[in-house]
Amino acid sequence: MIVVMKTSATERDIQDVINRIEEQGLVAHPIFGKQRTVVGVVGSSFRQDLADMLSAIQEVETVIPVSKKYKLASREFNPISTTVRVGDVVIGGDEVVVMAGPCSVENEEQVMLTARAAKAAGARILRGGAFKPRTSPYQFRGLGEDGLKILANARAETGLPIITEVLTPADVDLVAQHSDILQIGARNMQNFVLLEECGRSNKPVLLKRGLSATIEEWLLAAEYILNTGNKQLMLCERGIRSFDPATRNVFDLTAVPLVKRLSHLPVIADPSHSTGKWYLVEPMAMAAVACGADGLLIEIHPNPDHALSDGPQSLTLENFAKLMPKLSAIAQATSRYVGDSLTAVS
């Protein structure tokens, strides 16, 4: 439930409400808005006795039940859209934030070439996997810590913050040391121990939708991270399984505006994993911006034919550079912009 405080409530009144909630063995999540404060109550289903007790407090305006199973992730709970900050990049505001880079970190030269091209084209964040979840144990599984160091070198040269996947709870600290955003991959969306470990980290987290997860399961997975204390969270639609092998996955673009309506969290779209084919990436990236995605996660490679993973869906550096102005045009049509606001086409 949500306890809406009166605009006249003082810090002491708010603390009093928090204490009452905690006395019941529940967790209080205050959200300090510009106009008023609301206190979310998490830890049990709606309790009429508690609602009555809290409503009786003079500085409480009203008590509202949250109808969804997920609470902290819901827009009912927090109507103000969350913005995630990574250095000077703000995700969830007026900028459509483009994150680009190779599927896997393969070597220093590949990452440096890619990072320079990504930056020159207007990408704001560099992606690259050092710990790779692979369907077969015989495929390239990433360079591990050496890969993280290569990404950190690319950040040092270009200034681009790094997003990279963390596969296990034991690696969260190590990955957080070298990177700026922790990516939780589709295969790990319901690895609840990993979700909670990322929830305890002070790094922003990107949570991908599971291979065949419902929207509700995805938002409940987000709840694990929020409930462990990390509010710097974004979601990523990366396609879901279907019966049809024509594309790698089905890009559920409906999820973008739907989840933005259900939740206050930013929604990123991944046109690479959702299509599996490089020539579908451009039209679907444009479509994702048109339907309101807060950012894009795009795989690019200096030589896709020789990539150690996901070559068929990777854009060449040249094609990526050609895509960016097109994204910019679509972003402007939705009153947003792509790339640094100072260099955004007006």
Distance from C-alpha of 249 to C-alpha of 132, rounded to nearest angstrom: 19
Q: How far is the CB of 187 from ligand PEP (least distance, A)?
A: 6
CB nearer to ligand PEP: pick between 77 and 131: 131
Show contacts with ligand PEP in window 205-244 (CB under 6 A).
208, 238
Q: Which of 176, 186, 286, 327 binds ligand PEP (CB under 6 A)?
A: 186
CA of 8: how far to CAs of 15, 28, 33, 179, 327, in Å?
14, 20, 13, 42, 45
DSSP symbol at 261: H
Q: Is 103 in the site for ligand PEP (CB under 6 A)?
A: yes
Distance from C-alpha of 29 to C-alpha of 31, rounded to nearest angstrom: 7
| Locus of tokens 């309506």 | 261
For 164-181, give the secondary structure using H, E and C: EECCCHHHHHHHHHHCCE
DSSP symbol at 253: T
3-state secondary structure of 97: strand
- One-character DSSP codes across 103-135: SB---HHHHHHHHHHHHHHT--EEE-BSS---S
Q: Is 106 in the site for Mn ion (CB under 5 A)?
A: no
Give 283-288 contacts, CB < 8 A, sequence gap 24+.
284/251, 284/253, 285/323, 285/327, 286/326, 286/327, 286/330, 287/253, 288/251, 288/253, 288/256
Q: How far is the CB of 309 from Mn ion (least distance, A)?
A: 6
CB nearer to ligand PEP: pick between 6 and 277: 277
Q: Which residue is nearest to ligand PEP (CB)?
A: 185
CB nearer to ligand PEP: pick between 203 and 273: 273
Residue 111 contacts which entry, Mn ion, ligand PEP, none (Cβ below 5-8 A, type-dependent) = none
Q: Is 273 in the site for ligand PEP (CB under 6 A)?
A: yes
Q: How far is the CB of 340 from ligand PEP (least distance, A)?
A: 24
Distance from C-alpha of 325 to C-alpha of 255, rounded to nearest angstrom: 25
Token representation of residue 180: 């700026």
Instruction: Tell me the HSE value of 210 on the side-chain side, using a 13 A CA sphere.
Output: 18
Residue 185 contacts which entry, ligand PEP, Mn ion, none (Cβ below 5-8 A, type-dependent) = ligand PEP
CB nearer to ligand PEP: pick between 78 and 272: 272
Q: Which of 165, 171, 180, 310 binds Mn ion (CB under 5 A)?
A: 310
Show contacts with ligand PEP in window 123-142 (CB under 6 A).
129, 133
Stretch that binds ligand PEP, among 44-52, 69-77, 185-193, 335-343 (CB under 6 A): 185-193
Residue 133 contacts which entry, ligand PEP, Mn ion, none (Cβ below 5-8 A, type-dependent) = ligand PEP
CB nearer to ligand PEP: pick between 155 and 273: 273
- The residue ranges that bind ligand PEP (CB under 6 A) are 103, 129, 133, 185-187, 208, 238, 273
- The residue ranges that bind Mn ion (CB under 5 A) are 103, 310
